[in-house]
A and B are shown apart, each in its own frame.
Chain A
Amino acid sequence: MKLFKLCVVAVAVIAIATAGVAVAGETLNAVKARGHIIAGVNGGVFGFSIPDEKGVWRGLDVDTARAIAAAVFGDANKVKYVPLTAVQRLPALQAKEIDVLVRNTTQTLTRSTANGLNFAHVNYYDGQGFMVWKRLGVRSAAELHGATVCVLPGTTTEMNAADFFRANGMRWKPVVIESTPELSKAYFAGRCDVLTSDMSQLAAHRSVAPNPDEHVLLPQIISKEPLCPVVRHGDDQWYDVVNWTVMALINAEELGINSKNVDKTLMSTNPKIQRFLGVTPGMGKNLGLDDKWAYNIIKQVGNYGEIYERNVGVHTQLGLERGLNALWTKGGLMYAAPIR
C-alpha cells in the first residue's frame, strides 16, 4: 500500500519530468478524444465521494464531476473516478493523471501559485471544527489544552490545528495517519481525544461511528475552507469549462430550474433562462461546448440545491443545514456570476 502510494508520487514525478506543457484547449481536446473525464476524488468521505454498496459513486464531489461530463459529452456517466489520498492529490493533477480534482480541496494562496493550480468556483463552503468524546465533558475548543488530536496529513487541517493551538497557547499531541478510514478507526477506538477536520467530514465520520451519540461536534469553527474543483495552470479553456459548470449549477437553482422541470422551462419566455438552456444559442459555443451544455447538466445531475439535499442535506444521514451553502438570496454565500 505504502509502496503503491510512493509509486503514484514517483510516477507523477517522472510524468512531470517527461511531459510537455499544457496549451489552451489541450485538455478539452484530450478529454473529447478519450471519451471520458478522469476525476480525482476522495473515495472515503460519505456524502462527498464514496462508492455505494453497488459500486456506484455517490456524493457532492462526484455529482460535480458528473456535471462536467454532462456539459462536455451530454452524458453524466462518462467519468472515471480515481481515489486519491490528501498527499497524492496535487502531484496527480500536476502530472496530468487526472483532468480535474474534485476532492474537497481548500483553495489557498500557496496552492494557487507555487503549486501551479487554478481553483474553480467553490462547490462547498466549509470550516474546520473538532469532534470530541462526549464522556470527556468538553464544551469548547478552548478547553482542549493537552489533548491528543487525530489529524490527516498533507491537509490545510494539519496547519490550521497547529495555528489554533499556537495562537491560544495550548499544548497538544497530533496523531497523523495518512488513510482516512485508519484515522477514524483510531479515533473511535479512543486513541485520540479529538478528531479535527472540516465540519462536513466530521459529520460524515460521526454518521458512520459505532455509536454516534458518544461524540459531540464543538461549536467553534477555526478556519475558512472554501472547497473547489481544481485544474492545472496553463489551460484556460478547460478552466472555463469546469468553473462555469459549477456556476451553472448555482445559477440553475437561482433561476428555479431543476431536473424535473427543465423540459418544461425550455418553453420559458424569460431571456435569462433561454440563454441558460441554449434556447438562445451562443453560451455553449463560447465555452467550446454544445449549446445544450447547461440543459444536459440540469437534466441529468440537477441544480446545486438538488445535489446538496441528495448527498449531505438535512434528510440524509449527515443532516447538514444549508448554512453558508445556501443561495445568496437566502442568506448564504452561493453567488454565481451571470451566464450571458
Chain B
Amino acid sequence: MAQDSTESTLVPAKIPFWHDPTKRAIISQVVVLGMVGMLGYYLFTNTLANLEKQNIATGFGFFSREASFEIGESPIPYSAADNYARALLVGVLNTLKVSFIGIILTVILGTFVGIARLSANWLVAKLAAIYIEVMQNIPVLLHLFFWYVVFYEVFPPPRQALKLFTGAYLCNRGLIFPVPEAHPAHGYMALAFVAGCVAVWLLWRWAKRRQEKTGQPFPVFLVSLTILLVLPLATWLLGGAPLKMNVPAFRGFNFQGGITLSPEFAALLLGLVLYTAAFVAEIVRAGIQAISRGQVEAAMSMGLKPAQVLRLVILPQALRVIIPPLTSQMLNVTKNSSLAVAIGFPDFVSVANTTINQTGQAIEGIALIMVVYLFFSLTTSAFMNWYNKRTALVER
C-alpha cells in the first residue's frame, strides 16, 4: 500500500514531450528526415534550373529516339535503327549474361579450389594455395587486359584459324563452333527437359520419404541422370532426329554461321571467374574448417563414405557459414563486370556511356546505371538471403 502511494506521487500526471525519450527520438528522426528530403529537393530543383539555363535537355524522352549506333554482340535482335531503350536493354541483357554465367562458374571453380586447398595430397593443396595467392592479388582490371591480349595476340587471324574439329575454329575473332539448325523439335526437347526436372524433383522427395520410413536407399542420382538424358533424347528421335548443323564457314572477312564466342566476352568471363573464384575458395575453406573435426570423425565411424560425409555432414553445416560472404562475392562479379568497357564488351555501362555521349544527358545516364546495378545487387542478395534462411532452418 505504502509503495503504491509513493509511486503515484513520483510519477507526474503528464511528462512534457521534450523529456519523453520516445517522443524525442521520433521528433529528431522526423527533423533529420525532413532535412535530408529538403537537401534532395534542393539538389533536384537546382540541377533542373541549371540545366535549363545552360539549355541542356533533360528527361528520358531520348528513350524513344533512334540510337543510330551499332552494338557488337546482342542476345536479342538489334540494329542501329532501333531506339535507345532497346539499345540499353541489350546492354542490360549483356551484363546479365556475363554475370549469370560468371557467378555459376565462379561458385563451381571456387568450391573445387577451396576443397582442393584442404586436400591431404600435398601437391594438390599447394597448387590450390598458389592459385589463390596469385589470382586474388592481381587487380581484376589487369586480369581482363591480360586475357584480352592473350586472345588477340596469341591466336591467329581468321584466315589462318586453328581448326579444333570439323566446323569449330579458334582465332583472334573468338571461338566459333557449329550449332544445330533451328528445328521445331528443339522446343519440344526443352519442354521434355523441364518435365524431366519436375519428375526428378518428385523422385527425390519420394526417395527421401521412403528412406526415412524403411531405411532403404534408392539410387536417386543415376535414375535422375537417366531421366534427364532419355526424355529429351526420346523427343528428339520422335521429332525425326534432325541432324542438320549450322556450320561456320569462312567468307569474305570472317566466319559466317555457327555461334561465335567473342574474345571480349571470353576475356571478361575468364578474368572475372578466375579472380573471384580465388576469394570464393577461401570462403569455402573457412566454412569447411569451421566444422569441428569430431563431426567428421563421428560420421566416418558410422560408416559413411567420404563423399557422403562431405554431402550429408560437412556441406549442410558449412553452407551456413559460407553463404553470407559468398553473396557478396556474387555481387562483386556483377559489379566488376562493368570493367567490360576497358576491353570493349558492350555491357550496360558501355552502352549507357555511349548513350550519355550521344544525347549529352549525363545525369539521366548515371542515374540509370545506378538503378540497374542496385536492382541486380538487391535481387541477388534477396535470393541469397532467402536461400540462407532455408539452409539454416533445414539444419536445425
Enumerate chain A interface residues (CB-CB to B < 8 A): 1-2, 6, 9-10, 12-13, 16-22, 86-87, 90-91, 94, 110-111, 113-116, 136, 144-148, 153-155, 158-159, 161-163, 165-166, 172-179, 182-183, 186, 189-191, 193, 232-234
Complex partner residue of B70 from A21, A172, A179, CB under 8 angstroms: A172
Chain A residues whose C-beta falls within 8 Å of the C-beta of B358 in the assembled complex: 110, 154, 159
CB under 8 Å from chain A, chain B span 248-268: 251-254, 256, 263-264
Any chain A CB within 8 A of the CB of B338?
A: yes
Check A114/B359 contact, CB under 8 A, given A146-B253, A153-B353: yes
Chain A residues whose C-beta falls within 8 Å of the C-beta of B129 in the assembled complex: none
Check A146/B53 contact, CB under 8 A, given A1-B141, A111-B360: no
Residue on A with the closest CB to B62? A114
Residue in B70, B346, B354 with the greatest tally of chain A CB atoms within 10 Å: B70
- The segment from B42-50, B130-138, B208-216, B317-325 that touches chain A is B42-50
Report the tally of A-B residue pairs with Cβ distances under 8 A: 162
Residue in B51, B56, B68, B253 with the greatest tally of chain A CB atoms within 10 Å: B253
Instruction: Tell me the minimal C-beta distance from A115 to chain B in angstroms.
Output: 3
Complex partner residue of A110 from B173, B360, B366, CB under 8 angstroms: B360
Any chain A CB within 8 A of the CB of B180?
A: no
In the complex, the answer to whether A13 meets B363 with C-beta atoms within 8 Å is yes
In the complex, the answer to whether B51 meets A16 with C-beta atoms within 8 Å is yes
Q: How far is the CA of A13 from the CA of B361 in the complex (A)?
A: 10
In the complex, the answer to whether A2 meets B339 with C-beta atoms within 8 Å is yes
Residue on B with the closest CB to A21? B53
In the complex, the answer to whether A114 meets B57 with C-beta atoms within 8 Å is yes
In the complex, the answer to whether B256 meets A17 with C-beta atoms within 8 Å is no
Chain A residues whose C-beta falls within 8 Å of the C-beta of B372 in the assembled complex: none
Any chain A CB within 8 A of the CB of B357?
A: yes
Chain B residues whose C-beta falls within 8 Å of the C-beta of A174 in the assembled complex: 70-72
Complex partner residue of A2 from B153, B252, B338, CB under 8 angstroms: B338
Any chain A CB within 8 A of the CB of B362?
A: yes
In the complex, the answer to whether A154 meets B354 with C-beta atoms within 8 Å is yes
Extra A-B contacts (19), CB below 8 Å, given A111-B360, A159-B80, A178-B342: A2-B342, A18-B46, A21-B54, A94-B56, A110-B360, A114-B56, A114-B359, A115-B360, A136-B253, A145-B252, A147-B253, A159-B358, A162-B68, A162-B69, A163-B80, A189-B149, A193-B254, A233-B55, A234-B53
| Pairs A-B, 6 closest by C-beta atoms | A154-B357, A115-B360, A162-B80, A177-B344, A114-B57, A116-B54
Enumerate chain B interface residues (CB-CB to A < 8 A): 43, 46-47, 49-51, 53-57, 68-72, 79-81, 141, 149, 152-153, 157, 172-173, 251-254, 256, 263-264, 338-339, 341-344, 346, 349-350, 353-354, 356-363, 366
Q: How far is the CA of A262 from the CA of B125 in the complex (A)?
A: 77
In the complex, the answer to whether B53 meets A9 with C-beta atoms within 8 Å is no
Q: How far is the CA of A163 from the CA of B79 in the complex (A)?
A: 11
In the complex, the answer to whether A17 meets B43 with C-beta atoms within 8 Å is yes
In the complex, the answer to whether A232 meets B357 with C-beta atoms within 8 Å is no
Residue on A with the closest CB to B251? A146
Chain B residues whose C-beta falls within 8 Å of the C-beta of A147 in the assembled complex: 252-254
Residue on A with the closest CB to B255? A146
Q: How far is the CA of A12 from the CA of B354 in the complex (A)?
A: 16
Chain A residues whose C-beta falls within 8 Å of the C-beta of B157 in the assembled complex: 190
Chain A residues whose C-beta falls within 8 Å of the C-beta of B172 in the assembled complex: 189-191
In the complex, the answer to whether B357 meets A86 with C-beta atoms within 8 Å is yes
Residue on A with the closest CB to B79? A166
A-B contact pairs, 7 of them (CB 8 A): A1-B141, A94-B360, A114-B56, A146-B256, A153-B350, A172-B70, A177-B342
Instruction: Tell me the minimal C-beta distance from B81 to chain A in angstroms.
Output: 7
In the complex, the answer to whether A182 meets B342 with C-beta atoms within 8 Å is yes
Instruction: Tell me the minimal C-beta distance from A243 to chain B in angstroms.
Output: 18
In the complex, the answer to whether A20 meets B366 with C-beta atoms within 8 Å is no
Q: How far is the CA of A16 from the CA of B81 in the complex (A)?
A: 32
In the complex, the answer to whether A18 meets B51 with C-beta atoms within 8 Å is no
Complex partner residue of B353 from A87, A136, A179, CB under 8 angstroms: A87
Chain B residues whose C-beta falls within 8 Å of the C-beta of A9 in the assembled complex: 356, 362, 366
Check A165/B70 contact, CB under 8 A, given A153-B350, A178-B342: yes
Instruction: Tell me the minimal C-beta distance from A223 to chain B in angstroms.
Output: 13
Q: How far is the CA of A234 from the CA of B55 in the complex (A)?
A: 9
In the complex, the answer to whether A87 meets B357 with C-beta atoms within 8 Å is yes
Q: How far is the CA of A147 from the CA of B172 in the complex (A)?
A: 14
In the complex, the answer to whether A179 meets B342 with C-beta atoms within 8 Å is yes
Check A163/B68 contact, CB under 8 A, given A9-B362, A90-B360, A147-B254: yes
Q: How far is the CA of A202 from the CA of B357 in the complex (A)?
A: 22
Q: How far is the CA of A234 from the CA of B157 in the complex (A)?
A: 51
Complex partner residue of A153 from B43, B50, B354, CB under 8 angstroms: B354
Residue on A with the closest CB to B367? A13
In the complex, the answer to whether A17 meets B362 with C-beta atoms within 8 Å is no
Chain B residues whose C-beta falls within 8 Å of the C-beta of A146 in the assembled complex: 251-254, 256
Q: How far is the CA of A113 from the CA of B356 in the complex (A)?
A: 15
Instruction: Tell me the minimal C-beta distance from A210 to chain B in angstroms.
Output: 12
Chain A residues whose C-beta falls within 8 Å of the C-beta of B356 in the assembled complex: 9, 87, 91, 154
Residue in A159, A183, A232 with the greatest tally of chain B CB atoms within 10 Å: A159
Q: How far is the CA of A145 from the CA of B254 in the complex (A)?
A: 10
